[in-house]
C-alpha cells in the first residue's frame, strides 16, 4: 500500500522529559543507524498527523537504556509552532529552515532545499 494511502493510527511517544506526545498519524519516513565507536543505536522517524502536522522523533539507545525526544511541528503560512510535549515555541518558517541548514553544516542550500521539500511533502 502506498504511503499516501496508509491508514492513520494512534501513536504514543514517551519522551525523556517525562511527557508523552499522543497523536493520530502515519509514518512518513524513517532511518536507523549504529555508531560503532559510541555504541549508540539511533532511530529517527517522521510522522504526518491527521492535522497535517509533522512529528519528528529521535530515539537513542545504548546498553539497554533508551531515550526519546520528539517535536510536533505545525506550519501556518510563514510561521511554525514546535511542541516537545511540554513547551511550545513559535517562529518564522525561515528561521527553522536556517537552523536546519546550520545544523547540516552546509552553505550551498542543498540541505535547505531538501529540508524544505520534505517539510512541504509531509505537510500536503
DSSP 63: T
CB atoms closer than 10 angstroms to residue 122: 20
* Domain ranges for the chain: 3-122
Report the predicted TM-score, pTM, of the whole model to 2 decimal places: 0.74
Which range is least confidently modeled, 30-34, 86-90, 102-106, 119-123? 119-123
117, pLDDT greater than 60: yes
Over the stretch 53-107, which tens digit does the pLDDT of each residue have? 999 999 999 888 899 999 999 988 889 999 999 999 998 888 877 776 676 665 5
Amino acid at each position: 500500500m502506498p504511503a499516501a494511502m496508509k491508514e492513520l493510527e494512534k501513536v504514543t511517544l514517551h519522551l525523556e522529559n517525562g511527557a508523552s506526545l499522543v497523536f493520530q498519524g502515519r509514518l512518513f519516513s524513517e532511518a536507523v543507524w549504529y555508531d560503532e565507536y559510541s555504541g549508540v543505536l539511533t532511530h529517527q522517524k517522521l510522522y504526518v498527523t491527521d492535522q497535517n502536522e509533522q512529528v519528528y522523533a529521535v530515539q537513542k539507545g545504548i546498553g539497554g537504556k533508551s531515550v526519546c525526544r520528539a517535536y510536533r511541528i505545525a506550519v501556518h503560512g510563514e510561521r511554525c509552532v514546535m511542541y516537545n510535549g511540554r513547551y511550545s515555541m513559535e517562529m518564522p518558517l525561515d528561521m527553522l529552515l536556517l537552523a536546519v541548514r546550520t545544523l547540516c553544516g552546509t552553505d550551498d542550500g542543498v540541505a535547505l532545499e531538501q529540508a524544505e521539500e520534505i517539510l512541504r511533502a509531509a505537510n500536503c
